[in-house]
Amino acid sequence: MARLLRLLAGTAALLLAASPAMAADPVEVGVNWGSQLSHPLMPTSVVKMLKANGISRVKMFDADPWPVGALLESGIEVMLGIPNDMLETMNSYGNAQDWVKENVTAYGDKLKLKYVAVGNEPFLKAYNGSFMKTTYPALKNVQKALDEAGVGSKVKAVVPLNADVYVSPDDKPSSGAFRPDINDLMTDMVKFLHDHGAPFVVNIYPFLSLYQSDDFPFEFAFFDGGKNIQDKGGISYSNVFDANYDTLVNALKKAGVPSLEVIVGEAGWPTDGNKNANLKLAQRFYDGLLEKLSKNEGTPVRPGKMEVYLFGLFDEDMKSIAPGNFERHWGIFTYDGKPKFPMDLTGQGHDKLLSPVPDVEYLPHQWCVFDDGAKDKSKLPGNIQYACASGDCTALGYGCSCNGLDEKSNISYAFNMYFQMQDQDVRACDFDGLAKITDKNASARGCLFPIQVLSAGGRPTPGLGWAAPLALAVMLFV
């Protein structure tokens, strides 16, 4: 029945999409549209929301025909993605040709495609070199396939990279250089990008600088702070975003491509899952970033207009939490398409709530909660661990939005998240007789116990971190 309802909802949304949508004046900033949600929203409704907010650029992490189809003839500029697990496949030129035929030329002019992202942060240190040998050949094959398909002059192959591909021995941007272990590879790759008129795409996260070091100056993560660092030549930096960006610019100079265009493929601030991940700080970060972009001031070493994609559009409850519980809370919109906080995408400071995703339908108003009348509670720890492993308990940690719950509510939250992610299947609210379904809203102490949305999308495999479910389960009883 749930699947039938999702299909009916999808059909209804497609019919509604045929009616014209109110569109705001376009804004310069782009957004990342991720797909690691247990209940993805209807793409046609998402595109309506994008247009209503004037968002004219989207970056994706794959080439799923479902959301891509909704972008056809929308006028929205698109960056499609080839996931890391396909890089080896793209080392065959024939496969690269097939991919371009199926995902680029098949759409013709209906898709306003500008970039194809070959991999995503493939040289991340955490990958231990897994994609070191396959990324550059894949990049060359995809660009060659684009060229031979007659679209290479307007569609460029790029490789979005994490900021950890470059370093500065003395923490000064002027000393920026590519990591010694990948310097030769990066030098070859940036020269290829330069020769083919493609930009360098980098992901810059001031939040992660703060998260990864207790000694990092808090105010330096934002654009209105008082902390300054001095570099050579009298250059001063008041925020880590500019300092990070110019570290890359100096690395590009050393690699022989000083004028290579740079695009910030991801920049954002999470709103839960860590003591510094909250609505107030996220709004502060975005207000500062958007104001900076509106002024076209650039950075001390690279002044002028910058192209930036915000990360991300929605919270994604299936992302890996190995980097931290905040990974599932990067969205400027909630899982059900509601704006989290006021913001002005034009950077003029006229903050207001963005237009939400329209036509969102929900599962029935019911929750799965802990039954404290259950006789045998000996299996409680194992069931909590299971619920958190297959659900999402990231809001329960220290300093998070649901940190203030009592023990009973903690357990109920874990059970309910699993229940909702399983489409409220009655079998998902048993837990060896320790749970029950209720129509009374279980939200408590400022903590939202969500009801999931109706979705026509399939459910991806959960992205768990090492030992995360066990740690969360233990946390509930501390």
Q: Which residues are catalytic, by number?
A: 121, 266
> Can you tell me the distance from the alpha carbon of 6 to that of 3, in angstroms, rounded to the nearest whole number?
5
Cα distance between residue 49 and residue 51, in whole Å: 5
Question: How far is it, in rounded angstroms, from Cα 351 to Cα 103?
Answer: 37
| Per-residue exposure over 3-28, b if at least 16 CB sit within 10 Å of its own CB, e if not | eeebeebbeebbeebeeebebbebbb
CB 344 within 8 A of CB 351: yes
Q: Calculate Rg over the CA atoms of the chain.
A: 23
Determine the Cα–Cα distance for residues 415 and 433; give it in Å rounded to an integer: 12
With tokens 């109110």, the residue in question is 22
Distance CA 345, CA 335 (A): 20
